[in-house]
Amino acid sequence: MSVSARPTHDAATEAYQPVFTGKALEELQALLGRYPTKQGALLPALWLVQQQRGWISDRDMTEVAALLGLTPAYVKGVVTFYTMYHQHPVGTHFVQVCTTTPCNICGAEDVVKALLEATGAKELGATSPDGKWTVIEVECLGACGFATPVLINDDFIESVTPDKVPEIVRKYT
Amino acid sequence: MGYPHKPHPKETLLLSKYFGDPEARTYKGWVKRGGYEAWKQAQTMAPAAITEAVKESGLRGRGGAGFPTGLKWSFMPKEKHKAHYLCVNADESEPGTFKDREIMRWTPHALLEGTAIAMRAIQAEVGYIYIRGEFTEPSAIMGQALAEANAAALFGDLKIYLHRGAGAYICGEETAMMNSIEGKRGNPRIKPPFPAAFGVFGLPTTINNVETLAAVPPILTNGPAWYKKMSLSNPKSTGTKLFSVCGHVQQPGNYEVTMGFPLKDLLYELCGGMRPGRTLKACIPGGSSVPILNRDETERCLLDYEGAVEQGTMLGSGGVIVFDDSADLVYQIMRLARFYAHESCAQCTQCREGTAWTTKILERILAGQGKTSDLDLLLDLAENMTGKTICVLSDSCAAPVVSGIKKFRGEFEDYIAGKRNGRVRAER
């Protein structure tokens, strides 16, 4: 567990507040009981970090690595493999729009345009000036019969068409 | 649009009988509908007898490969020396497929019951249900159902856990899924060793799809002979199957039909046909990884494992993507290639490079900068991407490209000849 003591590149600027204290630590301990190895709890532990912080920083990865007996580099390798873990801060409302073929032929790209416009995010992957919205295109959300599905944080919204977009965006502001 | 639709008289409702009925989601509601009777029955049966019954029913894996389920279970060691595991594949991410999502949303206890029965059959004490990260609602419903089942101490010593994915199509490949559960990158493993010998955490493991497991309880309660009789065409394909229909039909959604049902009837009758003034152009019957059918082939295709092969495609996961005459197939095939390029785990060169270059060449054609030699180049690339990698993601990217060029070559040539407008967006 000596890895936790190793300073990371941004450790000097401010004191690091660990994620896993109190309730979060209890949750992690419960997770450890589900897998025969500590490493098994890595994906759920990263989810816990993201739920608390909104994204996963290098220092968070170092903390998780120390708790699970892994190296920070290994944890980073896992984080970068999975597209749902954010490696930088995103808007308060993180919007994922499916534009894979089945949704694409039903007009998904127009839904993307409408969302970029209505949220003020303007560009894919960029965050709106008020810090509230980030819109990205994603590959298949698994709801192809309900084109176009949009995931706003954990809210899964089906059958979105461009004309419904302003109303949906209003609900979150 | 939308679901649940009113069941069509030609549907055979076995798995989807309670779709749209919120009470069926609860433990009490499920028991009231005859739920957990099969689990009671299974507890009185020897593990080998359960496996035998499933083998006898002819049930085949509904995730895409169509491997006989009972046979898969029988590969697990009979003499138990180490812990055994079951992984439930709820990582439904194949474009065009959205059936497991509906099973988990409406009948979570059907999946839990099937999971428990399978765990008894293979003598597993731990089962992980791997749900893709984007499925927030199905995951919450499954979590609630599991809490109810645990509160009722239904499963004795069996431990069932939900494991949330984090956005990776490849984790639906069974060995990638096991790596992901172990807290690793979701890279597929070389086989052999097969999961029944060396699976998750290096221990004997079976991986089954959600729909496969949900079909197990009715097989036990009604008997394998009853299930086996449900077959309209080839006796090797038995039971019912959920088909997720999407794209250009009037009523997309999940439709449950007996194996061997004509694809034509599914599209024109159950789904209400094409939109007014439109005609069918092409159809991908088994999720995006299988070859595209033209109109004639679609109208001839019978929906079972053998019927799909007869038309040069595969039944796959049962995700039916329908294209009418308004669809730009060159663009949509590029969009599929881009999907595979995005989802490639990148460990095999043929896949990492092949999916990326396929996408780039198709984008070049769409941008009006294609060369006449590009189509042969794409086919050559596809040849090198087929049957040469650890898993079949690379082959899956090649399938729509090869079949698309073969059947709709004219559309590609029109782009290359400058007869069609270039249409491509900038790279993300």
Cα A147 to Cα A159: distance, rounded to the nearest angstrom: 5
Q: Which residues contact B390 (CB under 8 A, 6 or more apart)?
A: B188, B189, B190, B347, B348
CB < 8 Å to B319, chain A = 144
pLDDT band at B293 (very low <50, low <70, confident <90, very high): very high
Question: B88-104: per-residue pLDDT in tens?
Answer: 999 999 999 999 999 99
Q: Is A41 on the interface with B (CB under 8 A)?
A: yes
**Mean pLDDT value across residues A26-48:** 98
Task: Answer whether B95 sits within 8 Å of A105, measured CB to CB.
Answer: no
- Find, in chain A, the residue whose alpha carbon is nearest to that of B334: A101
Tell which wins on pLDDT, B146 or B422. B146
**Among A43, A100, A142, whose Cβ lies nearest the Cβ of B183?**
A43
Q: Is A101 on the interface with B (CB under 8 A)?
A: yes
Q: Which pLDDT belongs to residue A173?
A: 84
Question: A45-101: per-residue pLDDT in tens?
Answer: 999 999 999 999 999 999 999 999 999 999 999 999 999 999 999 999 999 999 999
Nearest to B183 by CA among B125, B141, B128, B143: B128
**Among B167, B254, B321, whose Cβ lies nearest the Cβ of A101?**
B321
Largest CA distance in chain A: 55
Q: Which pLDDT belongs to residue B422?
A: 60
**Of A57-71, B82-96, B294-308, B409-423, minimum mean pLDDT range:** B409-423
Q: Is A67 on the interface with B (CB under 8 A)?
A: no
Q: Which residues contact A112 (CB under 8 A, 6 or more apart)?
A: A97, A99, A124, A135, A137
Extract the tokens encoding B368: 């009006």
- Which three-class secondary structure state does DSSP give residue B206? strand
Q: Taking 50 as the threshold, does the pLDDT of residue A2 lie above it?
A: no
Q: Which pLDDT belongs to residue A26?
A: 97
Cα B418 to Cα B286: distance, rounded to the nearest angstrom: 33
**Mean pLDDT value across residues B252-265:** 97
**Among A100, A145, A159, whose Cβ lies nearest the Cβ of B335?**
A100
Extract the tokens encoding B30: 């499920």
Q: Residue A83: how many CA atoms within 13 Å on its side-chain side?
A: 20
Extract the tokens encoding B356: 């990326």
Q: Which pLDDT belongs to residue A13?
A: 66
CB < 8 Å to B94, chain A = 140
Question: B184-227: per-residue pLDDT in tens?
Answer: 999 999 999 999 999 999 999 999 999 999 999 999 999 999 99
pTM: 0.95
Q: Which pLDDT belongs to residue A6?
A: 43
For chain A, what percent of residues have pLDDT higher than 90? 91
Size of interface A-B (CB pairs under 8 A): 153
Cα dist from A4 to A28, A61, B183, B315, whole Å:
17, 10, 19, 50
Question: If you write DSSP's letter for every residue of B111-176 in order, what string do you get?
Answer: HHHHHHHHHHHTT-SEEEEEE-TT-HHHHHHHHHHHHHHHHTTTTTT-EEEEEE--S-GGGGSHHH
Radius of gyration of chain A (CA): 19
Task: Answer whether A42 sits within 8 Å of B183, measured CB to CB.
Answer: yes
Tell which wins on pLDDT, A4 or B401. B401
The Cα of A13 is separated from the nearest Cα of chain B by a number of Å equal to 30
Extract the tokens encoding B179: 């790596």
Q: Taking 60 as the threshold, does the pLDDT of residue B424 lie above it?
A: no
Burial class (CB in 10 A: 0-12, 13-18, 19+), A125: exposed
Q: Which pLDDT belongs to residue B423?
A: 60
Q: Taking 90 as the threshold, does the pLDDT of residue B253 lie above it?
A: yes
Nearest to B249 by CA among B274, B278, B266: B274
